[in-house]
Amino acid sequence: MFELSLLCPEDRVETISDALDALDALSVSVEDADAQTEAEQALFGEPGMPPPKDGWQRSRVVALFPTEELAQEARQLLSLQDFFEGCTILGVNNVPEQDWVRLTQSQFTPVDITPEFWIVPTWHDMPEQAKVSIRLDPGLAFGTGTHPTTRMCLRWIARQPAGSLGRVLDYGCGSGILAIGAAKFGAVDIDAVDIDTAAVDSTLLNAQANEVQLSAGLPDKASGEYGTVLANILASPLKVLAPLLCAHVAAGGNLVLAGILERQADELKEAYAPWVKLEVADAQDGWILMTASR
């Protein structure tokens, strides 16, 4: 494999990416050329919605080709196009053979939720300080403990008084990590639901691997009221789900919402105002956790 690397201004990223695709690139990726510097820019978007921008002010575009000849041909053809003005060719490099499984695993290390609560992939040793842990590997469903929204939800769970979670609903369970976390902290009646059957299957397998008991299924499995309702989704579906989620919160129970950007706090408060008073309970890397008591 050979990769062709380019430096492009934001307004040329889409055109260059389309051209590389037409030149039979196996893949095209775009990243912030200023990543890990003071000039790094954060771009937040939501699934199903157009991205806020096609790229960064200075974008590094990398195209993968099966042979060096194809990569060099693409390099030459692009440099002759009018739309390439303002772009720079960084080079064509051989991509060395690697153990991709080991490389992928190296990107997922134990995650500390609190000093004593850890999420640990199965190929890692358990940290000595971990008194409570979840064994979880990356899979088809969202939720490995690395994303700020997941970490904030788990941190909230870990900080609750013993025995206070009550009956728990994890709505949009993904990998089941929040439901499993609730079980680890004493919840015994847990429903985990998701619209994706792969997420339901993943949740059941992960629960079994962590030796906890829970029920998982499609959203119609959620029934009655719960002492704790957890929903780590995204702001848009959370607004739509407001009446449904609030109806599941028992008197004196807690509603915990995540997947919300800091700038979306007011619109979530407004959406839930007819039922509960949402407040920001935690914040990390531009994301917030919002909670309310019924």
pLDDT by position in tens, the chain (length 294):
899 999 999 888 999 999 999 999 999 998 887 776 766 666 555 555 555 555 667 889 999 999 999 999 999 999 999 999 999 999 999 987 766 556 566 667 888 999 999 999 888 899 999 999 999 887 655 667 789 999 999 999 999 999 999 999 999 999 999 999 999 999 999 999 999 999 999 999 999 999 999 999 999 999 999 999 999 999 999 999 999 999 999 999 999 999 999 999 999 999 999 999 999 999 999 999 999 999
Say if CB 192 and CB 204 are below 8 A apart. no
What's the first-to-final CA gap in the chain, in angstroms? 57
Tell me the chain's radius of gyration from C-alpha atoms: 23
List the strands of the sheet with 132-135, edge to edge: 111-114, 117-120, 132-135
Burial pattern 60-93, b for ≥16 Cβ within 10 A else e, equals bbbbbbeeeebbeebbeebeeeeebeebeeeebe
DSSP character at residue 200: H
State the number of CA atoms in the 13 A half-sphere of 30 facing the CB: 22
Q: Please tell me the distance from the alpha carbon of residue 53 to that of residue 85, in angstroms, as a whole number.
A: 20
